[in-house]
Amino acid sequence: MKHYKEFTITAEPFNPEIISGLMWELEITGVNEEVNCLKIFAAEESNVNIEQISGQLKKLVDEKMIFNFNVEENLVEDKNWNEEWEKSVNVIEVSDKLVIKPSFREYQSEPGQIVITIDPKMSFGTGEHQTTKLVLQLLEKYISKNINVLDVGSGTGVLAIASIKLGASSAVAVDNDEWCSLNGKENCQLNEVADKVDIVLGEIKDIEEKNFNLIIANIQKNILLGIAEEIKNHLKDRGTVILSGLLFSDEEDITIKYSSIGFELVEKKSLDEWIALVFRKN
């Protein structure tokens, strides 16, 4: 009987998108995000082991993205991994208005609710993580009709799709991961917004269009610090930026940086240990 290696990773703080991104640099076959851990799968004959995985995670400790971690290994019987993945993806009621669901789950919506269909595959952005919920809740407040939106580090495309569903006239979703680009296009088709969302494989510097009314970036702190000037250059005067992927401990560094280049902090929203910050360009 065929077996697979299963590695269970816990970390503090739990940054599934960053950790899974590093894991895909190894010879793995799948990643399953659970509530407080990541499960990494590799073929039994592969060279992937706890030492390799720990070596990757130590990079995050050195960069102060996580404080500590733990890795456990098991040998498990081969399964229908697609079926197992589907079991782990649920309907998420982000707010009274916004609901995220996979295509294989039924949901009876209430009047006025906006239901967004997202099949995440390998991309981050199921709506379950606190940072995604925070940004979606803020989009309800800051999206208005006829604005254009840039989503940086778009993952599944859920934030760009939500922006259109909430009333934005157009959105650009950019991510430097090819899987995210393909998955974003699939999800736009599922939600019938492909004509209004431009999925771009690349980085914010590759976006020619400037003068966005609203820019969203749900990425970790170091990247947000590094692209601050690019965000400013792509935003209209008095435009709004929503930043997340941040812990409480990141707030001071982000606020100092963005304030120093002409942004004003107008709102902070938190969920558990995570925060989202809203800035306006002066």
How do the domains of the chain map onto residue ranges? Answer: 3-85, 125-281
* Identical topology for domains 3-85 and 125-281: no
Which fold, 125-281?
Rossmann fold (3.40.50)
Report pLDDT for 2: 74
Q: 90-98: long-range contacts at Cβ-Cβ below 8 A with a sequence spacing of 24 or more? A: 90/128, 92/126, 92/127, 92/128, 92/133, 94/127, 94/132, 94/133, 94/136, 94/137, 95/136, 95/137, 95/140, 97/140, 98/136, 98/137, 98/140, 98/162
Q: Is the pTM of this model over 0.95?
A: no
Length of the chain: 282
Amino acid at 14: F
Spelled out in words, what is the top-level CATH class assigned to the domain 3-85? alpha beta
pLDDT-flagged residues of the chain (< 70): 1, 78-86, 88, 121-126
E strand residue ranges, 153-234: 170-175, 197-201, 212-218
158 conformational bin, left if phi > 0, alpha if psi -120 to 50, beta if neither? alpha
Report pLDDT for 122: 56
Report pLDDT for 16: 85
The token pair at 106 is 């039924």
What's the CA gap between 100 and 117, in Å, rounded? Answer: 6
Instruction: Say if CB 201 and CB 140 are below 8 A apart.
Output: no
Report pLDDT for 82: 59
Report pLDDT for 84: 64
